[in-house]
Amino acid sequence: MASLHPTIVLGGGFVGLLTVLNLSHQTYPHPILLVEPRDRFIFKPLLYELLTGEMHPKQICPAYTELLANRQVSFIQDRVQAIDLQQRQVTLSSGRFLSYSNLVLALGSHTTYFNTPGAAAYSFPFTSDDEAIALRNQLQNCLRRARETPNLEEKMGLLTVAIVGAGPAGVELACTLADILPVWYDQLGGDYEDLRIVLVNRSGEILKGDINNRLRTTAQHSLMQRTIPIELLLEAAVNEIRTDGIAYQQQGMNHFLSAATIAWTAGTEPNSLLKTLAVAPEHRNRRGQIQVKSTLQLLDYPEVFMGGDGAYVAEAPQPATAQVAYQQGQAIAHNLLAIAAGRSPSPSQINLRGTLMKLGIGEGVANLFNRIELKGELGHLIRQATYLELLPTPAHNFKNTTEWFTDSLFQRHQPRSLNANHYRRTPLLAGMTAAMVSALIALPLAWRAAQPQTFQETLSWTGVPALLDRWTPRQQ
Ligand SMILES: Cc1cc2nc3c(=O)[nH]c(=O)nc-3n(C[C@H](O)[C@H](O)[C@H](O)COP(=O)(O)OP(=O)(O)OC[C@H]3O[C@@H](n4cnc5c(N)ncnc54)[C@H](O)[C@@H]3O)c2cc1C
């Protein structure tokens, strides 16, 4: 029986998109509406590849019309302005009102500047395709101006990039820029040794308190090994961002760092719409996230589900990451289907499979199940392959994987490196790497097929059996 009102999903990021894709894939009996202001999904972990040109924008930001083609999902390109949980009604920017039977809150998070003067006006955030492109335009413009100016002081400022915040995004952005800027500047005839990248952080260590914390030593090493070694400015409290640099305090002294480009990766906070919801203060945490049950339902509104950066489960808190959001989207769809079939929703099971970081062009690190660390080019290949596997919809996934493997082997989109020691790629090396990855995957698969019990017992501590079960489920 069709319900009176549709199920409405607010926000088409990881949680929202995965919810509607899973619902439509499993023939959910009720109408599904997805409300999202953008026309394209953003696969945020690959924004660095958008900035450098390593991947095509369409691979990283596919259009919703493409992702939702032939699916029973109505896409409304609009912005949510207000949500009335008691009246079960949503107001959109266009003035339209929508009533729902079930609601999914998947509104994500946005950049916060901690009220730092000048930060919103003069720094470059890095959370969307538009922001990645704006940063690239700014950097290329500065490099061009640096080539033209006869003024040495102005040139040094134009060639200095400061990145505020040494969390994962700051570290990954710094490593990426330290490899790509020399290529761009070299193409303009400049001397890459004049470039400077400074990573500014309030605390004394990078990746502090982050899920990637155990990769700190590897990340620190990579920061130093880039084409331009990255300067770390630690225990530096940023007081103000100006058009020409950063005013900060370090060990009680005031300093100023001249930099024409300042990227801001210092923090995010849950979508501000969440502040307006009729949810009790005791069901919110200090970050502004809203508490949900393990089934991902709001405590006082069982018809409303929520996941991703804006939600927390008190009994099993999870980091605000894409891999959590992705799985929560699947879990929400599973529970909506259960309710539609007259069953009770079940607790969501989130499996953290480790973390992945980009540490330069063609270089990365994969921390599998907090037990195995694979770095360098192999880390890069695993990161890329994992993300391509996660890209939504099988058709999109297949297309990108094929394109990426071709690029990897034949070096399309590979910016020319100036530091041959780090990532010079020959077809032979690429072929060997692909062969290594194939062997790494094929050998355990063969063992698992021949001796499933011994394989499980011997390797369960490594997490490899679980990983293989997820990638290539066993034939029963
Ligand atoms: C540069 C960068 C790199 C990252 N790298 C990694 C990584 O390597 N690994 C990892 O696990 N995680 C990574 N993350 C974090 C990850 O992307 C987020 O945790 C994840 O996107 C959260 O998913 P979500 O569905 O909660 O929110 P989002 O994916 O942000 O989706 C929220 C959606 O809501 C929409 N929206 C916002 N306001 C409204 C409104 N008023 N009305 C309607 N819709 C609205 C937005 O347009 C967006 O589409 C990275 C994030 C960034 C910024």
- Let me know whether 124 and 259 are in one domain: yes
Regarding predicted confidence, which is higher, 413 or 337?
337
Number of folded domains in the chain? Answer: 3
Condensed to tens digits (0 to 9), the pLDDT of residues 43-67 reads 999 999 999 999 889 889 999 998 9
Q: Chain-wide mean pLDDT for the chain?
A: 87
Condensed to tens digits (0 to 9), the pLDDT of residues 141-196 reads 999 999 999 999 999 999 999 999 999 999 999 999 999 999 999 999 999 999 99
pLDDT given at position 405: 53
Question: Is residue 137 classed as helix, strand or coil in its secondary structure?
Answer: helix
The Å distance, Cα 108 to ligand 1 centre, comes to 5
Regarding predicted confidence, which is higher, 450 or 126?
126
**Residue 194 CB coordination number (10 Å):** 16
pLDDT given at position 456: 72
Report the amino acid identity of residue 228: I
Q: What is the dihedral of CA 131, 137, 143, 145, to 10 degrees?
A: -120
pLDDT given at position 1: 46
pLDDT given at position 401: 55
Instruction: Compute the distance between CA of residue 392 and CA of residue 404 in angstroms, rounded to an integer.
Output: 16
- Let me know whether 143 and 162 are in one domain: yes
Which residues make Cβ contacts (< 8 Å) with residue 197, sequence separation at least 6? 160, 161, 162, 163, 174, 177, 178, 181, 228, 230, 231
- Let me know whether 126 and 260 are in one domain: yes
User: Which residue out of 35, 39, 44 has the highest number of ligand 1 atoms within 8 Å of its CB and is therefore the one to mutate?
Assistant: 44
pLDDT given at position 427: 39
- Let me know whether 138 and 201 are in one domain: yes
The Å distance, Cα 154 to ligand 1 centre, comes to 37
Model confidence at 134: pLDDT above 70: yes
- Does residue 26 form part of some domain? yes
Q: Classify strands 196-200 and 231-233 as parallel, antiparallel or unpaired.
A: parallel
- Let me know whether 209 and 236 are in one domain: yes
Of 119-128, 190-199, 224-233, 317-326, the one with minimum mean pLDDT is 317-326
Domain that holds residue 144: 119-266
At 258, give phi and psi (nearest 5°). -80, 125
- Let me know whether 25 and 155 are in one domain: no
pLDDT given at position 394: 58
Regarding predicted confidence, which is higher, 87 or 369?
87
The Å distance, Cα 394 to ligand 1 centre, comes to 21
Minimum-distance ligand 1 atom for the alpha carbon of 321: 19
- Does residue 387 form part of some domain? no
pLDDT given at position 178: 97
Under the banding of pLDDT at 50, 70 and 90, the label for residue 419 is very low
Model confidence at 406: pLDDT above 60: no
Q: Residue 312 forms beta bridges with which residues? A: 291
- Does residue 421 form part of some domain? no
- Let me know whether 301 and 218 are in one domain: no
- Let me know whether 87 and 124 are in one domain: no
- Does residue 198 form part of some domain? yes
Regarding predicted confidence, which is higher, 353 or 375?
375
- Let me know whether 171 and 262 are in one domain: yes
Report the amino acid identity of residue 363: E
Judged on CB neighbours under 10 Å (0-12, 13-18, 19+), 427 is exposed
Angle at alpha carbon of residue 216, lines to 389 and 239, rounded to 5°: 105
Q: Residue 311 forms beta bridges with which residues? A: 290
- Tell me which residue has its CA closest to atom 46 in ligand 1: 11
The Å distance, Cα 324 to ligand 1 centre, comes to 11
Query: Element (H or E) spanning 80, and its range?
Result: strand 80-84
Question: Is residue 425 classed as helix, strand or coil in its secondary structure?
Answer: coil
* End-to-end Cα, the chain, rounded Å: 35
Q: What is the mean pLDDT of residues 314-332?
A: 92
pLDDT given at position 3: 56
Domain boundary among 310, 340, 370: 340
The Å distance, Cα 14 to ligand 1 centre, comes to 7
Minimum-distance ligand 1 atom for the alpha carbon of 110: 30
The Å distance, Cα 44 to ligand 1 centre, comes to 7
- Does residue 89 form part of some domain? yes
The Å distance, Cα 403 to ligand 1 centre, comes to 25
CATH of residue 86's domain is: 3.50.50.60
DSSP string covering 435-464: HHHHHHHHHHHHHHHH-HHHHHHHHGGGTH
pLDDT given at position 397: 59
- Tell me which residue has its CA closest to atom 35 in ligand 1: 11
Model confidence at 420: pLDDT above 60: no
- Let me know whether 207 and 292 are in one domain: no
Question: Is residue 110 classed as helix, strand or coil in its secondary structure?
Answer: strand
- Does residue 276 form part of some domain? yes
DSSP string covering 312-347: EETTS---S-HHHHHHHHHHHHHHHHHHHTTPPP--
Pocket of ligand 1 (CB under 6 A): 10-16, 35-38, 44-45, 47, 79-80, 106-108, 126-127, 169, 271, 273, 308-309, 320-323, 325, 356
| Contact call for residues 2 and 31 (beta carbons, < 8 A) | yes
Domain boundary among 205, 233, 266: 266
Condensed to tens digits (0 to 9), the pLDDT of residues 274-306 reads 999 999 999 999 999 999 999 999 999 999 999
Model confidence at 467: pLDDT above 70: no
User: Which residue out of 321, 323, 328, 355 has the highest number of ligand 1 atoms within 8 Å of its CB and is therefore the one to mutate?
Assistant: 321
- Does residue 384 form part of some domain? no
- Let me know whether 233 and 143 are in one domain: yes
User: Residues 270-275: contacts with CB within 8 Å, 24+ apart?
Assistant: 270/107, 270/108, 270/109, 270/309, 270/310, 271/11, 271/107, 271/108, 271/109, 271/110, 271/309, 271/310, 272/110, 273/80, 273/82, 273/83, 273/107, 274/105, 274/107, 274/310
Domain boundary among 239, 266, 293: 266
Task: Give the largest Cα separation in the chain, rounded.
Answer: 75
Q: Which of 17-21, 142-146, 435-439 has the highest mean pLDDT?
A: 142-146
- Does residue 405 form part of some domain? no
Under the banding of pLDDT at 50, 70 and 90, the label for residue 32 is very high
pLDDT given at position 209: 84
| Contact call for residues 229 and 194 (beta carbons, < 8 A) | no
The fraction of the chain above a pLDDT of 90, given in percent, is 69
Instruction: Compute the distance between CA of residue 182 and CA of residue 205 in angstroms, rounded to an integer.
Output: 26
Residue 210: name the closest of 175, 172, 179, 176 by CA. Answer: 172
Minimum-distance ligand 1 atom for the alpha carbon of 92: 42
Q: Mark 438-461 as b/e (b = at least 16 C-beta within 10 Å).
A: eeeeeebeebbeeeeeebeeebee
- Let me know whether 324 and 437 are in one domain: no
Chain center to CA of 256: 31
The Å distance, Cα 117 to ligand 1 centre, comes to 25
Q: What is the mean pLDDT of residues 445-452?
A: 63
